[in-house]
Structure 1
Amino acid sequence: MTHMRKKTGLRSLRRFRRDQDGVAMVEFAMAFPIMLVAYCGLVDVAQMVMLNRKVTQLASTLSDLTARVQSVTPSDIDNIFNASQTVLMPFGTSNASMVIANVVVDAGGTARVCWSNQRNATAPARGSTVTLPDSARIPGTSVIMARASYKYTPAIGYVITGTFTLGDNPVYSRPRNGLATGVENIEQVVRTGTNGCPNFS
């Protein structure tokens, strides 16, 4: 009788050990939500890092393309905006904001906006004072200042939620082939229909 009980107990133990196959399924079911949230968070962060780099590249492209020419028309500036924003691909451009400004530093070292254009943003007014880094604030010179930003909303948003503004840091380029104009004959990129600076009237 005791021997039979032992055999029955051993069979039950073996059956229990075989039934442990279902434990893995239970463990996976418990771990899956955590793994999913971690994966979604990784995707969101990777997307933000990639887009932030593209926004920096966008500002640099805006500044560089504008600094290459002697003068620009409103149509030229639209073309610069259109060409530059292609660096955002495969991200859409509707959430991008762009500003191009010609900043002239007069003989006294005051930096002011000669002209500016924007797309989906607020551009500084003509004659408004701008704070430039020391490397760019050289009396009797000008710089093209460009800004770009992007309002990014995570597509998945399980971990990172809300809307983030990426970029919005100024990038500066010296005119490569500017025209010496204005009352101080400062080399600058001229916008047609706008007086050269520092004549800000």
Structure 2
Amino acid sequence: MNRTILENASPASSRGVPRCRGIILRLRAILADKQGVGGVEFALVAPMLLVLYLMSFELTMGFSAAKKASMASSAVADIVAREEKVTKAYLVTMSDVAKAIFVPYPPTDLLIKVTAIKIDGTKTAKVAWSWSSTGVAPYAVGTSAPVPANLLIADTFLIRSELSVSHEMMTYLPGMVSGGTKSLTLYREFYYRQRLGAQITCSDC
């Protein structure tokens, strides 16, 4: 009787073994299958690569705008320093000079200030005249003017240009930096000595 029970039980138990082996073999095949790994890796990395590319592009635009701001401010001071006499009508053209340098990026909120500074024999720097693209003189005649120590030389005349412009920068990591657009103000200041004569006059400033 015991033999009969064993004989009847053995086929059922033997059928379970191939099933387990089949499942294990299938799992091994799935684990060994490398198809689609490259696609998954690309899907994980692509968003970060895209963000890095866009941020690099925006930074490049920002550096270019900053460089153009420096060039424009320097050019304005250099051009005015080559004259002996200027007028408001002449100084207004400095905005056109700056805009031409900023091509192909149109400047936003462009502000230009030009100040003539006379340094007397005691190395005291005073404002001789000033002009702004707003149409209002930014500094009163006779007030003290800041001058770098290396340019503070007795009996000299300086032209100072100040230029500020707004630059919009897009940010693509809102979780790490604030907002989607960041407004930056680029400010540049340059000093040039007069090229001709002892000073530069402005008849209607």
TM interval, shorter chain, is 0.7 to 0.9
Post-superposition offset of 1:134: 2.1
CA-atom RMSD in angstroms? 2.6
Equivalent position to 1:129, from 120, 144, 164:
144
Q: Give the Cα–Cα distance (whole angstroms) in 1 for the partners of residues 53 and 80 of structure 2.
A: 41
Gaps spanning 5+ residues in structure 2: where?
1-14
Q: Give the Cα–Cα distance (whole angstroms) in 2 for the partners of residues 16 and 192 of structure 1.
A: 87
The TM-score with structure 2 as length reference comes to 0.76
Q: How does 1:30-179 map to 2 (within 5 A)?
A: 30-119=44-133, 123-154=138-169, 156-159=170-173, 161-168=181-188, 170-178=189-197
**Secondary structure, aligned partner of 1:153:** strand
- 4+ residue runs of structure 1 moved beyond 6 angstroms? 1-9
Q: Give the Cα–Cα distance (whole angstroms) in 2 for the partners of residues 29 and 152 of structure 1.
A: 33
**How many pairs does the alignment contain?**
183
Q: Which has the larger radius of gyration?
A: 2
Identity over aligned pairs, percent: 23
Gaps spanning 5+ residues in structure 1: where?
179-186, 195-201
The TM-score with structure 1 as length reference comes to 0.77
Q: Does structure 2 retain, via aligned residues, the 8 Å contact 1:63–1:146?
A: yes
